[in-house]
Structure 1
Amino acid sequence: MTATTTGLDGDTLRMMLSALDDFVAGALPDSRLLELDHDDTCPEETVRAMCGDDLGVHLVFIPEEYGGLGGGAFDAYRVCERLARLDIGVATSVFATFLGSDPVLVGATPEQRKEWLGRIAEQGTMFAYGATEPEAGSDLGALTTTATPVETDGRVTGYRLTGRKQWISNGSIADVTTVLALAPGGPSWFLVEKGTPGFSAATPEDKHGIRLSNTAALFLDDVLVPAENLVGRVEGRGLIQAQQVFGYTRVMVAAFGLGGGWSALDRAIAYSADRVQGGTPLSAKRGYTHKLIVPHLVRLEAARAYLEQTAALIDAGQGSTADLNTAGAIAKYLATEAGNAAADAAIQAHGGYGYTRPYLVEKIRRDVRITTIYEGTSEILEMTIARDRWQQHLKTHGQYHRDAARALAGLPDECGAPAAALALDCLADVLEACRADRLTRHQHILLRLGELIAYAECAGALARRAADAMSETLPEKADRRFDAGTLAAVARVFAREATLKVAEDGLRWVTGAVPLPKPGPSIGGARPEPAAAGLAAALPLDRVRAAQAGLIADLDQIADAVYGREATPEVPS
């Protein structure tokens, strides 16, 4: 995907989403999903039909010059969310082809792009992405798979690949796999076709979830590939090529978390509207909606705001690779954690029925769990976020997040901007306390900072999105599930949560890093006052707590909007 791609027009995107709904409704009704899940079977024919003339969903991800529709990051997010609402396993199979073709898209020669991307567009060729290894996990630099050059008359004419790949989506059904291997010049990508002698797949993994996707280990036993199958025809560019698309691919997996979470919540919303308990439907009970429904949709919509912001930056060609990698990490972290929590709450919202397979939320919960693991675990993302923003804090002498807070000053108060700005200011205080006491030497502190940064920055993104909705300036292709008034209430609720989390949790971890004093008389004078005391004085905790005023009224407003009703008094439990 080129940086300047703007993607599909709004009508084309809406037609694609509608066609996708119709196709999956016919090919994969709930009964069929449950059957395939029980049998642990990937519906390969259905996936190939989706990427064939029947639907052509794969064309969204291929540039127009190679026979595709030339969709951008925003289009990919909308399509991936819709796929995940239908089934995350099937969505993973479609995503695997795009991921597998990534090295070709960003690093291949023009001739290689024409051949291999053309195969996807014209023939629906399925790809797999062969990067992960059994011992290396997500560390692409710890490769053991090797690529040994084969020379003929002093010229390299091929490579022999030897090694093993693990957790490969589409592993045993892909027509072509891009394999990352260590060549003499460094890590490099190679295109390996199914059926090549020495190239084989293990029995598909027996997985906890996404059982409609094919996941298998791959074995490369002295596999000979022609030199023309070295992506880019130059060795040593593999890791750079992988890094170039992290921002983009993480947007897509973030959309999976968003789609899975909303799929589960929508089922819980429908169930609670019909389920009567004590003479009234569950949807009329605030104890139910304000715990199991509303907080989760709020976090999902906060993630959506950051996801849409990141996708728009990618399509506009703004931001360095490192900037977009961090933005993609924030979007994926919050969306997948929120989706996982929403699916868990949906089981609780169904009571005992939620724990049974026929209601499907049990399956969705198992499926969405993988989104916090693949394409970067939540812990790797926390580290990525914290390290980048820590460097920004140091480079700007503590002003990075204060500047972000000031940038919200012109937004309407009703879109949650004051509380979001307060969260960002508190975050700057927390980071400065960590600098003063060198607390980032503690790995867990660094991870927790990643979480706080994600919450604060997503609060700012959601405030901006709510303001755009109020001024009717949302992007044409943006999701519009909620009207401007409801979205503003959603933004206020999340901004309050982010403010409280950053201030209270930040103070907790900074204080928690202070060692207990040793018994007995002090030696060498009193210990300098730790940063925790200074942070407690610097944080405007009274303002943080005062910002929570109006929370219940906003939760009420959101619940009424979700269930399509006028404001109603609470029904006693």
Structure 2
Amino acid sequence: MAKNDLTTRNLMLDSLKQYAKNRLSHEFIREHDAKNEIPLDILKEMYDRDTLGVHLLLIPEEYNGLGGQTTEIYRVCEQLARIDLGIATGVFATFLGSDPINVGGTPEQKAKWFKKIADENKLVAYGATEADAGSDLVSLRTRAERVEKDGKIVGYKITGSKMWISNGGVADIYTVLALAPGGPSWFIVEKGTPGFTQDAHEDKHGIRLSNTAGLAFDEVYVPAENLIGLEEGKGFLQAQAVFGYTRLMVAAFGLGAGEEAVETALVYAQQRIQAGGPLAEKQGFMLKLITPHYVRFEAARAYIDWTAKQLEINNHGLATEGAIAKLYATESGNKAAEDAIQAMGGFGYTKEFAVEKIKRDVKITCIYEGTSEVLEMTIFRGRWQEHLKSRGQYYIKQAEEFEAIHAQNPNVGADSVALGFRALARVLEDCRAQKLTRHQYITFMLGDLISEAEVAAVFTRQCAEGKVTEGSRFDLATLSTMARVNARLSAFKIATDGMKLILGVGAASAQDLAASVNLIGIEEKMTGLITDEDAVSAKLRDTFKA
């Protein structure tokens, strides 16, 4: 695959859309959802090289794959989520399950297993989660005991259990995290290995077209060459190395599912006549249930794309950025799907329209690959260290950058971004001085405010630079209007929610705090907000006509 080739990406996405149109009708998806049944033949067909070969994206070209970069993979994840989030999860499980091999495998291991996955269309599963070790992998209890012969390690016997494993009951290859004598380590286990069994498929609230099952290991023997990297104790590092990447893919799920829900509701609203005109022409309907979500989608798209480009440079890492992308996009997608049901009234609550199912499906994106609360804590910890190291100047310096951007381009909301950064710096410093981070709830909420500020900054900067994010259907003028709306609302949220946290523990006077976060200055930037939102609504109606 040509790297960063937009034409190739668009052809791939078009093929995926056409396949879904031909093979994945709404009735087909509804039927399998009702049965809580994975369409395994469809998943296998999507893996077939002559059909789509969707799994080949994750496999380097030297191992018979397409060698897709992060941008290709997130764009495909977004499109898969628009089709069905359960099927998307089945594909993602192979991506995720292959990551330990990609990150930690020896050249020989990569050649063996990637070629097997590519050429034999193998489904893969990622076996990390346990009853007491979900996001907290330190609590790992699955053990891998060495098997020695003539003083040499020849294999391992794995004993323990895993739960909530996507593709758990249908995968051919499993990467399994277990505690070896040298520390947590990843092992490759093949289906059918003696002592290895899969539990029944879980009866889930959503993503019912994906298989989720527990795994059980009773002294399951694997040869020593199935220890990924051939060195014990690297498991946590190998898992952490890809958090930025894997969470970015789930962020794309939240974006794609949310978009599909809101666009379904908007098309319906253009046909639904109420009080003498289409619902979509009603300002209250649009500004409450539709327009704010698409503003956040475009902000999320800009941030996801920016993070993807950084990962293509740095390959691994960016755990904080990946957490920000996932928190912002999945929470936005989840709320948007809820409002899409409201927008369609009784129709939205029935299974006749897709929004009811999307709402059930998209909730999982706020849970798997790190719950929103785990992500809030991850974001807080990452940026709290930056605040401390810089003696409170981390966000002040970024505020100065956006003040300069505003001087050059006053039409993208950079002034509001700067105010938001200054308010955030003040809130963080007050939390430090008053030792408020001993309250866990405050650290969660600070993580959320940090994500608001940083997503708004990326969206605004891209508009200031004249960039239209790949995948967006809007022109630069419309995106700039969206960026202004988003920046204003983000700054207001940072100031008011930040004040709420500090005042909530009695750590300041309301008057002094309002002055320190410049609440009046932020409020003044609200001038023209409704006018801008109405302009965005008009563009949405033109773009998504019935």
TM value normalised by structure 2: 0.97
State whether structure 2 residue 313 is matched by structure 1 residue 316.
yes
Q: 520, 525, 542: which one pairs with 1:542? A: 520
Between Structure 1 and Structure 2, how many residues are aligned? 540
The 5-angstrom pairing of residues 106-117 of structure 1 reads 106-117=103-114
Distance 1:536 1:280 in 2: 43
2:257 aligned partner: 260
The one-letter amino acid paired with 2:190 is E
CA-to-aligned-CA distance 1:129-174 (integer Å, 9 cap, x gap): 0000012221111110000011111111111000000000000100
1:564 aligned partner: 542
Distance 1:10 1:453 in 2: 31
CA-to-aligned-CA distance 1:162-190 (integer Å, 9 cap, x gap): 00000000001000000000000000000
Contact 2:295 2:486 in 1 (8 A): yes
Ranges in structure 2 where 5+ consecutive residues have no aligned partner: none
Distance 2:423 2:150 in 1: 66
2:221 aligned partner: 224
Higher mean C-alpha displacement, 225-234 vs 53-62: 53-62
The 5-angstrom pairing of residues 240-279 of structure 1 reads 240-279=237-276
TM value normalised by structure 1: 0.92
The 5-angstrom pairing of residues 93-104 of structure 1 reads 93-104=90-101
State whether structure 2 residue 488 is matched by structure 1 residue 496.
yes
1:482 aligned partner: 474
State whether structure 2 residue 369 is matched by structure 1 residue 375.
yes
Q: SS of the counterpart of 2:411?
A: helix
Contact 2:198 2:216 in 1 (8 A): yes
2:19 aligned partner: 23
Distance 2:432 2:86 in 1: 43
Query: CA separation of 1:532/1:228 partners in 2, compared to 1, >3 Å: closer, same or farther?
Result: farther
Contact 1:347 1:354 in 2 (8 A): yes
CA-to-aligned-CA distance 1:303-322 (integer Å, 9 cap, x gap): 1111111111011228x72x
CA-to-aligned-CA distance 1:27-58 (integer Å, 9 cap, x gap): 11111111110111101110111111211111
Q: CA deviation at 1:407?
A: 2.0
Higher mean C-alpha displacement, 244-253 vs 537-546: 537-546
State whether structure 2 residue 29 is matched by structure 1 residue 33.
yes
Q: SS of the counterpart of 1:151?
A: strand
The one-letter amino acid paired with 1:357 is K
- Give identity over the alignment, percent: 52
Contact 1:63 1:69 in 2 (8 A): yes
State whether structure 2 residue 153 is matched by structure 1 residue 175.
no
Distance 1:306 1:417 in 2: 16
1:333 aligned partner: 327
Q: SS of the counterpart of 2:312?
A: helix
Could you list the structure 1 runs, at least 4 aligned residues long, displaced by more than 6 angstroms after superposition: none
Q: SS of the counterpart of 2:130?
A: coil
Contact 1:7 1:74 in 2 (8 A): no
Q: SS of the counterpart of 1:224?
A: strand
1:283 aligned partner: 280
Distance 2:225 2:266 in 1: 54
Ranges in structure 1 where 5+ consecutive residues have no aligned partner: 516-529, 567-573
Query: CA separation of 1:76/1:546 partners in 2, compared to 1, >3 Å: closer, same or farther?
Result: same
Q: CA deviation at 1:440?
A: 0.7
The one-letter amino acid paired with 1:341 is K
The one-letter amino acid paired with 1:556 is D
Distance 1:309 1:424 in 2: 19
Contact 2:393 2:425 in 1 (8 A): yes
The one-letter amino acid paired with 2:532 is D
2:506 aligned partner: 514
Higher mean C-alpha displacement, 7-16 vs 378-387: 7-16
1:524 aligned partner: none
Contact 1:164 1:219 in 2 (8 A): yes
The one-letter amino acid paired with 2:63 is Y
State whether structure 2 residue 375 is matched by structure 1 residue 410.
no
CA-to-aligned-CA distance 1:7-34 (integer Å, 9 cap, x gap): 3411111111000001111111111111
Distance 1:565 1:188 in 2: 50
The 5-angstrom pairing of residues 92-241 of structure 1 reads 92-241=89-238
RMSD of the TM alignment (CA)? 1.6
Q: SS of the counterpart of 1:545?
A: helix
